[in-house]
Structure 1
């Protein structure tokens, strides 16, 4: 009797402790970083937290940090959604899992966390891409040649030159992303040579095929993007240009090449206009975040504790707002891309 009572008490104790542990873990998962910038737990997936903590230790520039945070939030959303799908017995061939792994590797490479030395000087403290000096170039002789031609043509106003430079920078970023994916394909092929079982080989063969499909899609996008830049550099912007932001222009051009009806295109055009406003607002907040960071560094050098605390609080609030807007913008772009892909071109996005 006493033994049974003891076992019951122990089981209840373990249950209480397990419940307490679960609550503590949930509280930790849902906690936010403190105002002084020292993190607790930012994401619900351990590997994403590790990446975020590493970014803080690396002292990525504020705008890059905010961009990384948005990318990790998107990754977190997709991975949690995949876990739910997997629990329901879907994704049997592992296609979505492979795609998630690929997108995670792209994030690591994009922000210099894949263990490779990046000599491309992405971690810049300049305000924005279009504020860089012309001497920085675009890491591509064809782009540099086109840019110099456009710059000396006299066809562009100051505002148009700023828009054109954003398009060139966007294309440069797409080239870099293509190189990252190509590198992951090369590594997968090396792994593929060392497969042990036939089943394992079939799975890896499927993943490899998917990556080659992505490469073909991205190469096609690069060729179309370069053709657009070539045309712009020679002819200038037309008066009936629908959009100004490169990402929005790219979505619109993709939609026009798809099999959407005229009514669907009209509806999408209105949605893209709202999206462009969101992109421009996010860019504005990125500028303000960098300016706030510069002001904070200046104030810290002066050593006035009260002034430092006040500016640090403003900076952290602005950083949080920029991250939130960045996530919403990227989520909106993901939704738009999926919508166009389903109804038009059958494309695979990172």
Structure 2
């Protein structure tokens, strides 16, 4: 059992974030909670954190350095203070408008450290991927910048890392992919072979894959057709439960007939874009924030966290 999670659960007033619907059934969630497209959502219940598990936060499209990014950062910070996180996954576009020029680029301070440094997030590792705007700068500069900061993990454009829960045998492999070259039509045989080898490793770990571009989306960009081929088929073949992305400046959770389900978290600071419930949508919202994932041996909980508070969760 996670002692630190119990401490925050009992001593922080849950009402700071939770506007519980208190509905009699799942239908009440759809009727009363902003953003919910399906009756599959359940009222948020903090008791899920009483189980041993790994708690992640997914955020993307942050790097503006303006009040919008501060708003999204504060939402993350308040959530972490109530329900402590183990790590943050960043789905790309860390530095607008055109990435970093070099590892000492002032944008690194203005659009990352000056925003997140004063908050309670200093001990958390950030696992990041480059977005299309980061590719407009120097990827080597982003690698060097991350190497200079112990809480940022970006050793190469695609990589894998393992997060383990100290209270159980649970392990989560987070597998970072570089989708921007694919959208440019650059052949990625080496990356796809690497991805297959990582997913094929015999392990009891849960594999979570993330990249910048969504495969399916009901936002303004829509689907990324190039990712529907070999890339998606590998995720399906190896039964990956979730694919995490950004690029769309909103929040979306999409259920597929075959796993993986799609979490799109791109509401970290860039001007928000319209989104509406569409095919297979479970949740959409045009508000700043992100998604929390609570992963246990039995379940994965997908929890939208936004300006609307924490009101609903989905189980996978």
TM-score by length of 1: 0.27
Bigger Rg over Cα: 1
Larger % of helix: which? 1
TM-score by length of 2: 0.29
Larger % of strand: which? 2
